[in-house]
Structure 1
Amino acid sequence: MSLLVFGGLAGALGAGIQFSGDPSAAGPRQQLALFEVIDEGKPELKTRLKTDGTDMAMLPQVDTDGYAEVESGDEPSLDVAYAEGAEATGTGGPSDDVMADGEGVGVRINGKLVKPGESYGEVTKIASLDDAPISGMTETLNGVRLPRIAPDGRTPSEVYARPFANPSQKPVVALVVGGLGINATHTKSAIEELPPEVTLSFAPDANRLQYWIDRARAAGHEVLIELPMENYDYGRMKMHPQTLLAGKGADVNVPRLNTLLGRASGYFGVINYQGAKFAEDAAAVRPVLDVLGKRGVALVEDGSLEEASLDKVADQTHVRYAKAASPIDTKLTADDINLELMELETIAKEKGAAMGAGYAFPITIEMAKIWASELGPKGIILAPVSALVGTTPAELVDAERVATGSKAPAPVNPAG
């Protein structure tokens, strides 16, 4: 009954509205929009391709008068700090380090000072080293091509070294990464990813040794050849057939040395591979270093030898010599390698120069790459190892150049 009553009332009300008109017409009406109301016509599309058929004259024009003198290019815009004389509108790094450089007006991009008239690409380009062998720097002995001092007095340790200058006398660090030529992937990574100031050393039995040396020099790296020297304990490892032996004289070790030196051309020096036993035997070491001195080849010690006589014999035989403070990757963790690299910085600030040595493990390459990129703001310069080797033979000694193995510290290669 109730449903019938309410149904009748609703019907009567509807009939009244139908006959009396639309109730919304009885007063003002306002439309509320939840979103912006736009013209429902076809929207104008932005031109993406020349074939879109859009009339280019219809596109809005941008006033470029203020950009007339700005050059386009691929120069990175991150980490930019302005040197003295340039107006800075933002910060990209610690400006105090930049202002203290005293290198003139310019803008510092990613740690490199770009002066007026220079481009970022020009500043950061890698200068390739000359192809080896260089004329006059080799001779053939018993069918083996060996390095020699040229008739005009040039030595392999100078000619094949990467040029370096430190006129501002800043602390210097150097790094050699070795074991190259055995693993092609790691060798390629070291050549292409490490800064050209990092010295690379190659195993004498590397596959395509000259090819890899040529690639390294083309990328700006100076190179060393590794000399296998007798160790105390080889464990299950097999001794290299040309290992320099303790207790043996020139008749055994010099032919072995010549075989190793004749593997390739283009190296400024040699570096020990192992050798704790050999390096302690001064009598065995002397004839080997005699040959290096007479051929103008430098000697680098990797810092792993505790009781070595190499430094003393190098002084006596006038061999250009440098010694690493320590290996950087005896423990293959990022933290341990980083601590060793930080120690090099400390030594460099205290003594003027320091050198480290490592192998081409992926973690070593990665940590060295990061470390090298952060040296600039610290006021430390990355130098090739050749910049730290000792004096030339006695009659050619230059008082401004010293060996890192010397007990008396002095400026490192200030004249370049």
Structure 2
Amino acid sequence: MPQFRRSILTLATLLAFAHPVFAGKLAIVIDDFGYRPHTENQVLALPPNISVAVLPNAPHAREMATKAHNSGHEVLIHLPMAPLSKQPLEKDTLRPDMSSDEIERIIREAVNNVPYAVGLNNHMGSAMTSSLFGMQKVMQALEHYNLYFLDSMTIGNSQAMRAASGTGVKVIKRKVFLDDTQNEADIRRQFNRAIELARRNGSAIAIGHPHPATVRVLQQMVYRLPADITLVRPGSLLNEPQVDTSRPDLTPQKIDAPRNPFRGVKMCKPKKPLQPVYATRFFSVIGESITQSSVVVWFQHQWQGWGENRRA
């Protein structure tokens, strides 16, 4: 018994100090690389499991992609895609009406401009990613270059996952934007939200940008992650369960009215006025039915025979 107690205490101690087996996985991607080397270099000084997405036509795209790779960070192409709103667009922004050849050319040049890229995510793109036809052309090109697609989810009805069906392209989804505002308290709140989602769902991807406020928050928080949260690269989440939130074509369709089962049937009308049925008559009818049933008649015959035998 003492030996058993010692074994239990040893096991409990090991479990108390061991790293949780089922840790939540948190991936962080910093977009818009290629324009601000000074701030971007501060991002590259963070742990290598923080990944970066490089704009292919930015002036420092090749330089920063190479630096990121050499520092151990995962590199993605941050490809401009057409938004629903009207705003200035980057060169070679993908549009749904582009031909397959044009989309393939743009992606080919992006691959050349962003060396070491293993995946691609969308810069803006609410119009492009909500087009199934447009995204099917994108997925065909990505399959050729063996790139995965990180859906930035700039619109809830993204068709990326549906478009990738039937191709070899893996699709993963952003869950949290860290810095919709450049207020450190807001960024910290979003970071904690990403942690909670990773803990609840098993994994979560957060996207931020190389703003000074974002960098400061990351410098504070990535080194203080809870014990049950592991910082990972997005490429390690390719086999995690994903939910397709896209909606099918919502074009109104003509729906036939339900058939009336009584159509063409003439309702019978009584020839004489209906007579009211009172409760006493109701119970009388029930009693007559019971006394005339075969079971009751059989019992009556048995009872009569038994009485005659007794008298004999």
The amino acid that maps onto 2:27 is A
Cα distance change, pair 362–298 in 1 and its aligned pair in 2 (3 A): same
Q: CA deviation at 1:347?
A: 1.1
Call closer, same or farther: CA 1:302–1:101 in 2, change over 3 Å: farther
Go from structure 1 to structure 2 and tell me whether the alpha carbon gap of 1:381 and 1:404 turns closer, same or farther (over 3 Å shift): farther
Structure 2 residue 18 is matched with structure 1 residue 102? yes
Letter in 2 for 1:275: G
Q: Decide whether the 8 Å contact of 1:302 with 1:356 is kept in 2.
A: no
Give the secondary structure class of the aligned counterpart of 1:350. helix
What CA distance in whole angstroms lies between the structure 1 residues aligned with 2:70 and 2:77? 17
The answer on whether the counterparts of 1:232 and 1:277 sit within 8 Å (CA) in structure 2 is yes
Instruction: For residue 321 of structure 1, report the CA deviation from its aligned partner.
Output: 1.5
Q: Does 1:174 align with 2:8?
A: no
Q: Which 4+ residue blocks in structure 1 deviate beyond 3 angstroms? A: 96-99, 403-407
Rounded Cα–Cα distance in structure 1 between residues aligned with 2:55 and 2:112: 13
Secondary structure, aligned partner of 1:371: helix
Aligned length: 236
Which of residues 228, 231, 240 in structure 2 aligns to 1:402? 240
1:300 to 137, 146, 150: 150
Aligned residue identity for 2:67? R
> Residue 356 of structure 1 aligns to a residue in which SS?
strand
Partner of 1:316: 166
Q: Quickly say closer, same or farther: Cα 1:256–1:354, change in 2 above 3 A.
A: same
Structure 2 letter corresponding to 1:369: Q
Unaligned runs of 5+ in 1: 1-83, 86-95, 104-166, 390-400, 408-416
Secondary structure of the residue aligned to 2:150 is strand
Question: Equivalences for 1:155-234 in 2 at 5 Å?
Answer: 168-192=21-45, 194-234=46-86
TM-score by length of 1: 0.53
Distance 2:172 2:148 in 1: 8
Partner SS for 1:357: strand
**Cα separation, 1, equivalents of 2:205 and 2:53:** 14
For residues 210-230 of structure 1, the C-alpha deviation after alignment (integer angstroms, 9 at most, x for no partner) is 222221122111111111101
Q: 1:383 to 1:328 in 2, by over 3 A?
A: same
Code of the aligned partner of 1:221: H
Q: Say if 1:98 and 1:374 are closer, same or farther in 2 by CA, change over 3 A.
A: farther
Distance, in Å, in 1 between the alignment partners of 2:23 and 2:73 is 21
Show the 5 A alignment for 1:216-365.
Answer: 216-235=68-87, 237=88, 239-365=89-215
Question: Deviations 1:135-160 (Å, cap 9, x if unpaired)?
Answer: xxxxxxxxxxxxxxxxxxxxxxxxxx
1:383 aligns with 2:232: yes
Cα distance in 2 for partners of 1:97, 1:188 equals 42
In structure 1, C-alpha distance between the alignment counterparts of 2:144 and 2:103, rounded to whole Å: 16
> Any idea what the Cα deviations from partners look like across 1:232-271, whole Å, max 9, x if unmatched?
2233x2x223111122331332222222222132011111
Query: How much does 1:99 deviate?
Result: 6.3
Please report how far the alpha carbon of residue 350 of structure 1 lies from its aligned counterpart in structure 2 after TM superposition.
1.3
In the alignment, the residues of structure 1 paired with residue 146 and residue 189 of structure 2 have an alpha-carbon distance, to the nearest angstrom, of 35
User: How far 1:328 moved relative to its partner?
Assistant: 1.2
- SS of 1:100 mapped into structure 2: helix
Letter in 1 for 2:38: T
Greater share of helix: 2
User: Which letter does structure 2 place at the counterpart of 1:184?
Assistant: P
- Is the alpha carbon distance of 1:294 and 1:405 closer, same or farther for their aligned partners in structure 2, counting shifts above 3 Å? farther
Displacement of 1:326 in angstroms is 2.5
Instruction: Could you tell me which runs of 5 or more consecutive residues in structure 2 were left unpaired when the two chains were aligned.
Output: 1-8, 246-312
CA contact (8 A) 1:388 1:404 kept: no
1:371-401 deviations in whole A, cap 9, x for unaligned? 21111x4411111111112xxxxxxxxxxx3
Question: SS state of the match for residue 208, structure 2?
Answer: strand
Measured after TM superposition, the shift of residue 182 of structure 1 is 0.3
Aligned residues: percent identity?
A: 19
Q: Which moved more, 1:314-323 or 1:225-234?
A: 314-323
User: Residue deviations 1:182-220, cap 9 Å, x none?
Assistant: 01211111112x211101111112224222222112211
The answer to whether the Cα contact below 8 Å between 1:195 and 1:369 also exists between their aligned partners in 2 is no
- Give the structure 2 partner of residue 37 of structure 1: none
What is the RMSD of the two structures over their aligned residues, measured on CA atoms? 2.4
Contact 1:303–1:327 (Cα < 8 Å) also in 2: no
- TM-score using structure 2 length: 0.70
Are 2:23 and 2:229, in contact at CA under 8 Å, matched by a contact in 1? yes
Distance in 1, Cα, partners of 2:18 & 2:227? 14
| Distance verdict in 2 for CA 1:343–1:98, change over 3 Å | farther
Q: Distance in 2 between matches of 1:303 and 1:288?
A: 16
* Counterpart Cα distance in 1 of 2:31 and 2:195: 20
Report if aligned partners of 2:37, 2:60 keep a CA contact under 8 Å in 1.
no
